[in-house]
Each structure stands twice: as C-alpha cells, then as structure tokens.
Amino acid sequence: MAKTATLKIDDQELELPVIIGSEGEKAVDVRKLRSTTGYITYDEGYGNTGSCQSEITYIDGEAGILRYRGYPIEQLAEGFSFEDVSYLVIYGELPTPEQSAEFSARLRNEAPIREGMVRFVQGFPRGAHPMAVLSSSLNALGAYHSQMASNNHERDLKHFDEAAAIAMAKVRTIAAHSYRVVRGKPLNYPRPDLDYSENFLHLMFSEPYEEYKATPEVASAINLFLLLHAEHEQNCSTSTVRMVASAGANLFASTSAGVSALWGPLHGGANQAVLEMLNTIHANGDDGSRFIEAAKDGKARLMGFGHRVYKNYDPRAKIIKGSFDKALESLGITDDPLLDIARRLEAAALSDDYFISRKLYPNVDFYSGLIMNALKIPVDMFTVMFAIGRMPGWIAQWHEVASNPKSRINRPRQVYMGPVPRDVM
C-alpha cells in the first residue's frame, strides 16, 4: 500500500500522499492541503519545499554527493569535456562520438553573434558590470531568434536543439564581448578550430597584434571549472529559470532571468566576493583570525563558506581544491599571499566550533575564485564564467518545464501580515 502522512488540524484528519524519489528522498504531497483544510504551508526561503520533480541532478548534501543524470561528478571531472557533459545534462545521456561531433559542430556554427547584437553589446558603457551586459544580451537574443522565442512552449520546443545550441554557444561569445566592451577593447570573433574553452580564452584575451594561445593546463582548468558548474538542481538561479519558464516564457528570457539571480553575492556572485574578501583581509594585515571572529559575531560573512544543501564538504570544492596545486605549479605560481590566507581561513573555520556546529564547509566558490585569479581572469568575470558553466543546466531545466504537459504556473502563496480593512476617511 502506498505510504501516506496524516495531518490532524481543527478536528480534521487528512491523509497526505507521500512521494518517494528514485534515490529514496521522501516528500509529503501537500497539493490538496489548502482546498481541503484552508491551510497553506509556510516555508520562508523554501528550505523544506520541493518545487518540482526532476530527472536531471541528484544531490545528497549530508553525504556530499553530486550526480548529473546519475553519473558521479568525480567521474565526469576525470577527463570529460564540458561540451560532452553539457550534452549529458541537456539530453540525459552521454553522447556517442557522432553525437558529440554533431553537437560541437552546432556550437561552433552558432558561436558568432549577429552584427545587430554586436552593436547592442557595444552600446554598453565602459565600466559596466559584465553580468548586467550578459543578462540583458541573453534576453535580447530572443529578439534575433524570434521563431524559437514565441512564448508558446509547443512552438518553441520544435526548435529546441537549435535554441539550446544558440544559448550555449552565444553565452560564451557575449560574455567575452562584454569583457572587452567594458574595457574599451576591440572585439574578437570566434575561431572554428578551437574547442569551447580555448575559444572562450581567445575571445577574451586575443589582441589585434597578438593571438592568445592557451596552454593545455589553462584550457583544461577552464574546462573543469565549467563542467563543475554545469548543473546544481533547484538553486536560486535555476528556480528562477523554472519560475519564469512556468509562465510560458521562452528559453532566452528564462535564462536571462537566471543570470540576474546568479549575480547575487549569496549565490554565484560569491566567487567574486571571496576574492574581494581575501584582498580586504590581506590589505588589513589580518592573517584571517580577525575576520573569522567578525564572522562569528555576525559582523561579517565568510564568503565561500556554507551552503543551503551541503552540510558537508561541497564535492565540487574538493575537486577544484585537488586540481588547484597542479594548476598553480603549471603556471609557475609558488607563492601567493591570498592563497595562504585562504588556506589559513579554511583550516581555522574547519576547527572552530561556530562553523562545526553549523556545518559550514567551503563551497565551490571558495577555491574557484583563486583558480580564476591565478588564470588571470578578471574578478568581475568570475560570476560570468559561472553563468557560462551553468547554461546547460538552465537549458535542461527549462526543457523539463516546457515539455511537461502538466506544468502549472509557479505561484507561491503568502501569509498576509498587513493592516486589516480600514477607511481612508
């Protein structure tokens, strides 16, 4: 017999169905709660709320497990390309060699943006944050590809393969263009002979007088960074993408909203905030201990620490940290004061009762900012890089919403605490 939960309220007893996920996750189905009892659930911050059923990513935060479509992140991080992992996330299976070649060719063909879009991106002022440019430009893509941005999911889905390739290929081009525009540099055009990560570095760093050549170590560090960020179930930006998609919005509008959510320092913006925090600690002549005390007193937040879901080491942080020394060695970096501070902060936090009792561990952003800093990626591009990496996840999640015939508009309720009726006179 199917398991149920019993809720007793106002002398009424209600049997609520229980849903068990494929990994044994348990959920009480409250969809009939309000219509039967008049009550709603209250869960500010959604810490106990399942907003959907999804087949894309599994996380066990207590055990520090992350799997894309069933495959452990540790296995995918061992030598898979970001393109193939993106294919897995979007389509559910790792590609065959033919599918991989076809997907790469599609990304290559879609890499340039139209000249109108180039002018649009060039219109942003110097000094603009590249995340502002990225979010607006992604939404603008819908204007240039209106046949797949009709805001009719049935029609948009007919062009899904093309739209997915456009979003994945062009997010990288727009990101690199935004970097160059806000610095007043001339734009580079994508090169068909380079892979996804190498092309990104070329678009960012090639100069008219000198072609940028990525070393294999740098290209592989970028590949790893993107792959580790490819998908992470119902985080703030992905929930935003699903929320916007639930209203019927197209892929470009939905992912553009995701970029805006990602920008926040409690989410993707944390990688930029980690580096800024380390710089401040360094500039103040602190070895990290004063900052830790301030965090414990609630006067500061240790950026790159803590996670809503992981109550253990973030598995992505473990992988990044593991690859870090190798990357630094290949770059000839032996002495880095920020890295020393980061290591001290980590050791201090991991042995401090405040952090232990709250299960606050380093998350993916703690070391990723340092890696990108070592790779000479400018700080304001860190979150943009996160957005490029997360695009396959957003695409897959948009597709789940758009292709679900039972999908309903996402519309939470509230508990009203404002004034009761009163008269103006």
Residue 292 touches ligand CMC, criterion: CB under 6 A: no
Token pair, residue 232, equals 């992470």
DSSP code, position 125: P
Question: Binders of ligand CMC among 334-393, rule CB under 6 A?
Answer: 358, 360, 363-365
> Which position's Cβ is nearest ligand CMC?
306
User: Binding segment for ligand CMC among 30-38, 303-311, 328-336, 368-376 (CB under 6 A)?
Assistant: 303-311
Distance of closest approach, residue 297 Cβ to ligand CMC, in angstroms: 10
230 near 68, Cβ under 8 Å?
yes
167 near 251, Cβ under 8 Å?
yes
Give strand ranges (E) for 98-181: none
User: Binding segment for ligand CMC among 4-12, 139-147, 172-180, 263-271 (CB under 6 A)?
Assistant: 263-271
Binding residue (CB under 6 A) for ligand CMC from 85, 302, 328, 345: 302
Residue 306 touches ligand CMC, criterion: CB under 6 A: yes
Active site annotation includes 229: no
Catalytic residue among 365, 380, 399, 423: 365
Binding residue (CB under 6 A) for ligand CMC from 185, 267, 282, 344: 267
194 near 136, Cβ under 8 Å?
no
Nearest C-alpha neighbor of 385 from the set 152, 178, 75: 178
User: SS3 helix, strand, coil % of the chain, rounded to 5?
Assistant: 55, 10, 40
Q: What are phi and psi of 191, to 5 degrees?
A: -110, 130
Rounded CA gap, 128 and 118, in Å? 16
Residue 263 touches ligand CMC, criterion: CB under 6 A: no
Rounded CA gap, 378 and 389, in Å? 17
Distance of closest approach, residue 270 Cβ to ligand CMC, in angstroms: 3
231 near 56, Cβ under 8 Å?
yes
In 375-424, alpha helices (H): 382-402
Active site annotation includes 307: yes
User: Binding segment for ligand CMC among 10-18, 203-211, 217-225, 267-275 (CB under 6 A)?
Assistant: 267-275
Question: Binders of ligand CMC among 31-60, rule CB under 6 A?
Answer: 45
**CA–CA distance from 20 to each of 63, 70, 369, 379 (Å)?**
19, 17, 37, 42
Binding residue (CB under 6 A) for ligand CMC from 308, 311, 343, 344: 308
Residue 268 touches ligand CMC, criterion: CB under 6 A: yes
Which CB, 165 or 319, lies closer to ligand CMC? 319
389 near 230, Cβ under 8 Å?
yes
Rounded CA gap, 187 and 189, in Å? 7
User: Binding segment for ligand CMC among 106-114, 159-167, 212-220, 306-314 (CB under 6 A)?
Assistant: 306-314
Catalytic residue among 129, 202, 229, 307: 307
Residue 270 touches ligand CMC, criterion: CB under 6 A: yes
Nearest C-alpha neighbor of 384 from the set 226, 244, 239, 246: 226
Binding residue (CB under 6 A) for ligand CMC from 139, 220, 235, 323: 235
Binding residue (CB under 6 A) for ligand CMC from 253, 295, 339, 371: 295
- Per rule CB under 6 A, count of chain residues that contact ligand CMC: 21
Distance of closest approach, residue 223 Cβ to ligand CMC, in angstroms: 19
Residue 66 touches ligand CMC, criterion: CB under 6 A: no
Rounded CA gap, 212 and 177, in Å? 15
Which CB, 157 or 236, lies closer to ligand CMC? 236
Rounded CA gap, 252 and 259, in Å? 11
Nearest C-alpha neighbor of 163 from the set 116, 107, 120, 232: 107
Which CB, 203 or 277, lies closer to ligand CMC? 277
Positions marked catalytic: 307, 365
Q: Which residues bind ligand CMC (CB under 6 A)?
A: 45, 232, 235, 266-268, 270, 295, 301-308, 358, 360, 363-365
